[in-house]
Amino acid sequence: MEFDFYKTKKNKSTNVLKSKLFDEISDAFFVFTISVHDDYKMPFISDSAYDMFEILPDDMFTNTILSVHSRIHQEDKNLVKQSLIDAIKKGKKWDVIFRAQLPDKGLCWLKVTTKREVNNDGSVELYGRITDITDLKDQELKLKISEERFKFALETSTSGFWDWDIKANAVYYSPQSLKILELDVVNNVDAPERWAEIVHPDDLEKYYKVIYDHFDEKTPFYENFHRVLTSKEKYKWILSRGKVIERDANGNPLKVIGTHTDVSSQKEKELELMKKMEFYSEKNNRLLNFSHIVSHNLNSHAGNFKLLLDMIDLEENFAEKRETMKYLRTVSNDLNKTIEDLSQIVNIQNNAEIAVEPLNLNAYLSRVLNIVNAYSYRNNATIINNIPAEATINFNPAYLESVLQNLCTNAIKYANPDKFLIIEFNFFLENEKKVLTIKDNGLGIDLEKYGHLLFGMYKTFHKHEKANGIGLYITKNQIESMNGRVTVESQVGKGTTFKIIFND
């Protein structure tokens, strides 16, 4: 069915229809005329204007202009007046936004928009509407306050904001984010591929893993500490957080937002704390080493003294006693040297570095072999020394004596009773590092079974009456404290080879 608006005149007058339409519209409509003699009239104003300005109809028609003017906020009256003058004198539209102070509603925001026409007699007619935009202004104010807060938060925050448009393959950075990253890009927009270039190579794999875990919806957001290369060619630590805020129909991420936070100072403090912890841990290990050296090395000397004195008591021949006395004198001299070295350790415990000096390896090996000679004498050990006479290493004297003594006495303790004991020493260069090997043909160790426990404290692998599980623990700690390494190869029934890789 077609509807012809004009045919409604047959049933109702146009004025009645307009009246009903105006009643349904909250905006106020008006006609404002200005004669050539500057006489002002308002021949028409809709009923909604009464409620809008909270004016009684009688007052409105008695003095319309004054009634409305009295409601305009004092600070906006000049604005309204000047805009009206400009509309009349300069031929502009009368469009203005102003505040009205109403008795009940209080402060309201109103907007006037008009259409301007000039009659043949020179008079001007303004056909207009007045709209209550208070709610809109409140929303604008709230939005402005929110934007100001957000802007303030960004400007004062240590974090920078970024927005990654995956479809457009572009990343937007806030000024603070650019400052943190020390990037210089046009219009704050950059390509995401840059991250493959500036993230530290050691951090790159983990960086992408946490991102793609989030993209695959394995995590609600992603968070990652990593280093980035700045324009000054230096790395700084940042904390990056992000979240996908838009996905396509298949769940693929389209847009990601996040923040960057400079955590370099925190990381520096963390690394400093770790260094201090390592320092005190090292000092603790030194003290532990020292206590083991005292108990272990001095016990070895005491054991030698007891063994030699027992031998003297058993030997009836004066010549034999005299020969044993020579060993006693040697052990006594070596005990004095050991005490001197231990005293040196006491003196250097408060130093940041352990005293290291060039040591002739053969000289210390000879001393150690003299110390353990009583044991080797009983076991008829054959010593094969392939160490060059001039072989020198940088090591702590007390530590070197302890390492050699422990490995030699181990070879003697765990000799195979069915074989003549052979201990072989070799010294060579491997990968530009000095290496010492101590090889024996003793009982050997089952490395598959005990390999992970070999250098543990109080770990023993043979039922030997003098096994206490301290020697190898001390040896490993002393070698590593000199930044060296020790490895072992062994087969049950065939023997063991210890390999010491020095740090020079």
186 pLDDT more than 60: no
352 pLDDT more than 60: no
Q: Give residue 150's pLDDT.
A: 67
Q: What is the pLDDT of residues 305-340, one digit of tens each?
A: 777 777 777 777 777 777 777 777 777 777 776 676
Q: Pairing relation of β-strands 422-430 and 392-395? A: unpaired
Q: Give residue 253's pLDDT.
A: 92
Structure tokens at 148: 């100001």
Q: C-alpha angle with apex 114: 113 to 115, nearest 5 degrees? A: 145
Torsion 66-69-74-80 (CA) sign: negative
168 pLDDT more than 80: yes
**What is the layout of strands, in order, in the sheet containing 170-173?**
189-190, 170-173, 159-165, 253-262, 235-247, 222-229
Domain boundaries of the chain, sorted by first residue: 5-139, 158-262, 289-501
What does the mean pLDDT of the chain come to? 80
Q: How confident is the model at residue 465 (pLDDT cuts 50, 70, 90)?
A: very low
Pick the CATH number of 289-501 from 3.40.50.720, 3.30.565.10, 3.20.20.450, 3.80.30.20: 3.30.565.10
Q: What is the pLDDT of residues 487-501, one digit of tens each?
A: 989 888 899 999 999
Half-sphere exposure of 116 (CA within 13 A, CB side): 17
Domain 5-139 of CATH type 3.30.450.20: yes
User: Is the full-model pTM beyond 0.75?
Assistant: no
In CATH terms, are 5-139 and 158-262 the same topology? yes
Q: What is the pLDDT of residues 87-135, one digit of tens each?
A: 888 888 889 999 999 988 899 999 999 988 888 888 888 889 999 999 9
Record: fold of 158-262: Beta-Lactamase (3.30.450)
Q: Give residue 16's pLDDT.
A: 67
